[in-house]
Amino acid sequence: MARDTVETHFLEAVAALKAGPARDPALPVRDGTTMTGRQCLTLFQRQLDSRLLDIAARWLREQDEGFYTIGSAGHEGNAAVAAALRPGDPALLHYRSGAFYLTRSEQAGRLPEQGIRDVLKGLAAASDEPIAGGRHKVFGHPELAVIPQTSTIASHLPRAVGVAFAIERARALGVRSAWPDDAIAVCSFGDASANHASALSGFNTASYATYQGQPLPLLFVCEDNGIGISVRTPKGWVEAAARRPGIEYFSADGCDLVAAYDAAVRAAEHVRTHRAPAFLHLATVRLMGHAGSDVEVAYRTQREIRADLERDPLVRGATLLVEAGLVTPDELLKTYESTREHILRTALETTRSPRLASAAEIMQPIAPRDPELVARISPTAGEPAAREKTFAGKLPETEKAMTLAESINRTLADALLVYPEMMVFGEDVAKKGGVYGVTRGLQKRFGLARVFDTLLDEQAILGLALGAGVSDLLPVPEIQYLAYLHNALDQIRGEAASLSFFSRGAYRNGMVVRVAGYAYQKGFGGHFHNDNSVTALRDIPGLVIASPARPDDAAAMLRTCLAAARAEGSVCVYMEPIALYHTRDLFEDGDGGWLAPYAPPTRWRETHVPIGRARSYGDGRDLTIVTFGNGVRMSLRAAVRLTQEGYSCRVLDLRWLAPLPVDDLLQAAELTGKVLIADETRHTGGVSEGIVAELLDAGFTGQIARVTSSDSFIPLGRAADHVLLSEEEIEQAARKLLG
């Protein structure tokens, strides 16, 4: 539907209206509502502003000065939802939420002009736009509790559940949150998005939590226009799908401002009073198509398009105001024309705003680093008396040398003492202590509120972490196996890692995602439990990937990740090699060479590993073996055998897979002039490809070779040995390189 058709229809419809008897604007605008005439006038103006911003978006695009035309036309009833909430209620908004945003902006005490300029600068990709700074057109503002969302689907719903969860959990823990204690979270989405897996995860998690008595103050708002681009939503489907245990259902005609407001007030009051979720279903229409390039007549009949036009919420709002005697048709038409002229003039001004001018400027907010602050925070320890109590009088530094799993366990306990806002959660992490016992005993020491089990849904687990992180808590979720992470990877890629980028650092969701991973589990196969692929993680901008191999590194690197998440808002994936969890020996049975004493947090040099710094073993000058994870143990064993044959080798444990320790890598490579990369991930798309690229990009002129696992899934039993990198392959490749 062309914008001129929508505008013409509005103007003609308003001109034909007949004014009703004058009504006091302080009184309800009509019988049976609490909305006053004055409120209705204000909300209608915000709806009008939103509509004309959609007109401006298309005009800017025609001038090649605007870059986003998915608009809010037909959805302006969401202004009523904003009016039913408080300015401090965190909001995660659908991309058709223009009227909500403008209403929230005014609620917060800003001039209407400020909200209008925010949106226009986003449309024009202006670098001084207040949230994304020209990186995308999003609704967001740190002063309005509007968390920016770039999703065109419902991938923000698991985070919304996490935000609601965090509001209540922060209060239970007695720690500060980003939101008021009595706040409720709100998330909006379309009817088509309600079918997405991430939406279903959000609904199910909310229902699951409520079923168990967990407070969850969350308002789901589905703006149902009956169509997703060109695919129709069956009538009645949203209502049928929305009715779930523990989630109260409310509905209204979203094209009727008063009806939408009354329903939103009831829904918000239910959520705020009962601290329980509600589903607000608003029937809307979509005007002017999906976006500026969308030709509706290709898949909709003229009759259908006209039917939507007849339900235009702006026309219905104008009719309400005129019939209530609050304005005359002439006054409305003059307001429309003056507002239109002002918004288009302001749009023209925004085309002269600065634009992003360099890669460095664009990338600046991706992963802001403050290594000095991280270094100061990471050695922090709990009070001595608290540590004595937590460890039952037996401090971990007085215990015998530890395995990797034991070291991680003690480090988590020490960190839970340091960070009262920290939570450890995931499948089986509580009473059982995880599949491999890594979190054993933590719930008993720190309680159900801080160490708890979740439902079996990786999107839900990461959604809780996303919501907790943006709420100023410190989440440490566990993903039970590496392959399980791929079930919900977009929660890391599209939600966690992108938040700082699309908010210029105003919103961050620091977290440490613990992942049990890699292969070499004897007799254990299947791509879900014995996986060696990290490729999908390594290309996510700003993501930190820690890969400790030894117990002492595991403790120090975990503390670094926690400090980075807390101080910088870093999103860290902490890869734990399952096959090394309980390994004790290095060269011979009983030598204890893979054990290490626990260094308490107060020993700075032993408890802090800067992000992107490798660890070198040996001082050989003939060959550098570059490796990580399980490869460290295999390479050290191979290096000893090579040394016995007269070769001089050193082993470089990368420790960090993102960012790669390039400086340490180059230094180790130059010392020998020959580099063998021992990579337990796959030949194609594995870590070794990135290492080779870094060496070549830096101008390394020495010899490079690599050995990897095969491009295969991992089978059961000893068959796995045929596709996984082995010590023998490392030795053979080393001898070949050494000549």
Burial of 188 (0-12, 13-18, 19+ CB in 10 A): buried
Structure tokens at 264: 């939103």
Give the chain's length. 739
The span from the CA of 582 to the CA of 522, in Å, is 13
Handedness of CA 485, 488, 489, 493 (dihedral sign): negative
Exposure string for 596-611, b = 16+ CB within 10 A, e = fewer: bebbbbeeeebbbbbb
Of 524, 509, 438, 440, nearest in space to 479 by CA: 438
Q: Are 433 and 467 in contact (CB under 8 A)?
A: no
Kindly report the number of other CB atoms within 10 A of residue 708's CB atom: 22
Query: Omega before 25 cis (within 30°)?
Result: no
Return contacts of 688-694, CB within 8 angstroms, 24+ apart: 690/538, 690/660, 691/626, 691/654, 691/660, 691/665, 694/660, 694/662, 694/665, 694/666
Burial of 539 (0-12, 13-18, 19+ CB in 10 A): exposed
Considering 529, 582, 683, 722, which one is annotated as catalytic?
Answer: 529
Backbone phi and psi for residue 364, each to the nearest 5 degrees, phi listed first:
-50, -45
The span from the CA of 173 to the CA of 449, in Å, is 7
The span from the CA of 346 to the CA of 113, in Å, is 10
The span from the CA of 729 to the CA of 680, in Å, is 11
The span from the CA of 117 to the CA of 109, in Å, is 15
- Let me know the angle formed at the C-alpha of 292 by 289 and 298, rounded to the nearest 5 degrees: 50
- 648 HSE (CA, 13 A, CB side): 7
Q: Is 290 a catalytic residue?
A: no
Structure tokens at 441: 């005993």
Which residues are catalytically annotated? 529
